[in-house]
Each structure stands twice: as structure tokens, then as C-alpha cells.
Structure 1
Amino acid sequence: MSTRTRILEAAAELLAESPIADVSTRAVCEAAGVGAPALYRQFGDKEGLLSAVVDYGFERYLATKRAAKPSADPVEDLRSGWNTHVAFALQNPSFYRLMYSPTVSGTPAAAVEAHRLLLDVLERCAAAGKLTVPPEVAAQMVMSANTGVALVLITRSELYAPDVSNRVRDAIHAAILVPDAETPAPKVTGAAAAALGAQLRQSPPATLTTNETALLQEWLTRLSS
């Protein structure tokens, strides 16, 4: 195990034991069995260390996402993705608090990848005619609600019923997905436009120019909204 990984593992273990998701560099050095110069050489300062631990946490989170194989039902994949997100937070509360802490500057590359993986699932939902809003809008709604639920469950769990995650998940999904039952005309129109938009992004027709494709995409986005 490299010195960098040993320090990250030590910091992660100490964070997991910390009620405030914070550690001292001295404690990390002692736990990792290294001197302070080694830590500062690898991470610069405490903020650099915490940022690296955030990246490390996101990589652990992404490992569960990358391992998930797409099924034939994108809606079920969307539901499963919500559940695994919350499960990771509950299993790694200190990591998760730090991953979404406002004190961490910048957006980790792994967080961008997590958003892209969610967007991929929503694009599949749109292509199947299941989405009533543009995929990017749906991604913002799902991720913000998913993160909010996870944070309250690890910080104020005593205030919330055990099934709050499922209830919020189902409410958000009801707002962005076509229900299984017969759907009123406006929602069908929105879903059809979202589906066409996703298909257009996946396979732009050769018969349209770049400008024509962009214009059609703009119209479809407006209709799906």
C-alpha cells in the first residue's frame, strides 16, 4: 500500500469515528504511521487532505454505480440507483457528510461522473417514452432530492419515519415519469417529446443539418417541459 493510500485510509477511518466529520492532521499521521512532512508533501495542507478524502469517498460510491449492470427496465434502474445512494450514505455517514459539505471547495470529478451516470439512466427512460421532463431537469430533481434525503437520514434520523426515503423517491418519480396507468394528453405529449429528444441526441439524422438538429432539439425540450 502506498503512503498516499495509507494516509487516506487512516483519515477515512478517523472520519468514520468522528461525530463532526473532522480530523486533525496529527491524528492522521499517527494512525498512518507517517511524519507530518509526508502528509504535507502528498496533500499540501489539511484542506487538500480532506478534498482528497472526498474524492476517495466518491470513488467508493462510484464503485457501486459502475458495478451496476443496466437492466431492460430503465425505470427500475432509476429506482435502484436512488436506493443504493441512500444505502451508501447510511453505511458511510462521515464520508457522506464530508462529500457534500459546503466547506469543500470545487466539484470533485467523481461527483461529475455520478451526475453523468444518473443522466445516462434518465436518457434511457426518455428514449423509452417514460420521462415527462427533459433528462437534465429530471437529473437535477432526482439528485437534489436523493442527496437531501440521505443527509437528513444521517444527521436527523430521529425526526423521520423509516420509509421517508421511499416516499420521497416515489413522489419525485411520479413528478418526472409517465405512470403505468392511462396518462392525460399533456403528459403523454411531454413524454413523447422527451423520448424524441433523447433519440435525436443518440442518433442525429443525416438528413438534417447541425442547425436544423439543434433547432428541433430546442423545440422538443420546450414541449417536454
Structure 2
Amino acid sequence: MSRDAPRSPRDRILVAATRLLAEGGRDAVTTRAVSAAANVQAQTIYRHFGDMRSLLQTVAADGFQRFLTAKTRREHGTDPVGELRAGWDLHIEFAEANPAIYTLMYGERRPGPGADESTQVYEVLRGIVEQAAAAGRLALPVDVAAAMIYATGIGVAMTLITTDPTDLPAAQSLSATTRDAVLGAVTVDALEQPADHAADDVARHAIALQALLVADGNEDLGPAEAALFGQWLGVLARREAPAANPPGGASPD
């Protein structure tokens, strides 16, 4: 859709609602205001969108599409952990540049328009997490790591766009410090060789093998074999290192 010269009534309505939302928040998106800004009758809004709630859902869906476009247009590197860092920063930048639309996108759970787009955003993130796993860079199972990054990123973004910076002394560094803390918890360094933590090493390789098997499609394994092997790898991926002996070398009771 051309944002500079929308031609159809539907496009004009969507552009008007998006602008009103950005300038005045959700309360500014009323039937009367949208009608005036789009130069249409109220019934035209209802004919194209059903009601104002559906119109706002479509605005949110359009926001997700713009965010996905920004992610796909960005130049990508070869380091999956670096890609996770860049993706986090892009997410926060989009939220701060579009606070009202971002709040509409993530502030409430809704069916209908926007649901598929939000799933696509998560799947893009999960795909990069899978790449990190296949490279042996993931310390946690793919779904756990992806969920942690996704949820924490949204939480930081919502905090930054809804909190007065004077009420949050660490606001300026909040995104970077949280990003580094989360990625530090779910990834490992490419050169790290945790010889003194054999269980951690086993878990990391199990996670990598899980991701590689998914990417390969398990063509050499039957459904039952793939399910059983996946179950074994899942157990190894969640394996915990044994507790260290207490000072003096005595074994724990």
C-alpha cells in the first residue's frame, strides 16, 4: 500500500487510523475522527472493517507486516548469536519509533487480523535460534531459548515505551544489559570448551543435533525412530551437571 497517496477508501481509512493512533493513542481512533481524516462516511468504515475493533486489529496487522519487512530487508550476517543481538536491537528500535502501534500489537491478545503476523515474527526469531543450536552455540533447548528471548524483548520494549525515563534510572542501558544477560544465559561462546562441565557439553551437543535433524528432515529415520531419538536427545538437552563436592573433597550425603 502506498502511504503517500492512498487511493482506495479502505487504504485511506487504514492510513488515517494509523496516523490518529500514532498521534493521539487508541482513544483518538474514533469513528468520527477516522471518517473526517479519511474523507469517508462512517458506513464506509463498517463496510470495509466491520467495526472499530476490527479496524484496530488491521492496524496492528499492518504494524507486524512493517516490522517483518524491516527484519527481512536488513543485511544478515553469518553469526547466529550476532543475528540474535541485531534482531533484539531492531525490535526495540521499532517499538520506540512506533510506541502506540507497538502497544496495540503486543498489549493485548486477540484473534483475527494480526494473529498470523505475530506468529511469523516469532518464527523468524525461532529460526535464528535454531541456527544457533545447529552451530553448537545454544545452552538451552530451542523452544525454551526462543521463548525467553521473545518474552523478555517484549517486556523490555513495553517498559521503555510506557515508563517515564525519569522514573527508571537505568532506562538508557536497560535494553543492552537485558539483551546481553538473556543471550548470555541461552548461548555459549563459539570457542568455549567446558571440559570441567561435561554435562553442559553433552546438553549443548544434544541441542545442536536436535536442530540439525530437524533441518535435515529426518529422512533416514522412520516416524517411530525419529520420535524415540528426539525423546532421547530431549533428555540429554535438559541434563544437569552434577553437584560439586563440598570443600575438603567429601561427597554429599
TM-score (norm 1): 0.93
Paired residues of 2:141 and 2:237 also in contact (CA < 8 A): yes
Q: Which residue of 1 aligns with 2:211?
A: 198
Number of matched residues? Answer: 225
Of 146, 155, 170, 2:162 maps to: 155
Of 83, 88, 97, 2:103 maps to: 97
Q: Which sits farther off after the overlay, 141-150 or 180-189? A: 180-189
- CA deviation map 1:96-132 (0-9, x unaligned): 0111122644561110100110011011000000011
CA distance in 2, matches of 1:172, 1:144: 11
Paired residues of 2:83 and 2:128 also in contact (CA < 8 A): yes
CA distance in 1, matches of 2:199, 2:163: 39
Q: Which sits farther off after the overlay, 65-74 or 25-34? A: 65-74
Name stretches of at least 5 consecutive residues in structure 1 with no aligned partner. none
Structure 1 residues 192 and 97, CA gap change in structure 2 (3 angstroms): same
CA distance in 2, matches of 1:72, 1:137: 23
Paired residues of 1:98 and 1:104 also in contact (CA < 8 A): no
How far off is 1:60 after superposition?
Answer: 1.0
Q: Which residue of 1 aligns with 2:123?
A: 116
Higher helix share: 1
CA distance in 2, matches of 1:2, 1:134: 47
Paired residues of 2:160 and 2:171 also in contact (CA < 8 A): no
Q: Which residue of 2 aligns with 1:217?
A: 230
1:129 aligns with 2:136: yes
Of 32, 35, 50, 1:44 maps to: 50
Structure 1 residues 110 and 205, CA gap change in structure 2 (3 angstroms): closer
CA distance in 2, matches of 1:168, 1:146: 8
Determine which structure has greater relative contact order: mean sequence separation of CA pairs < 8 Å that are 6+ residues apart, divided by chain length: 1
CA RMSD of aligned residues (A): 1.7
- For the pair shown, the structure with the greater C-alpha radius of gyration is 2
Structure 1 residues 204 and 39, CA gap change in structure 2 (3 angstroms): closer
How far off is 1:182 after superposition?
Answer: 4.0
CA distance in 2, matches of 1:50, 1:109: 15
TM-score (norm 2): 0.84
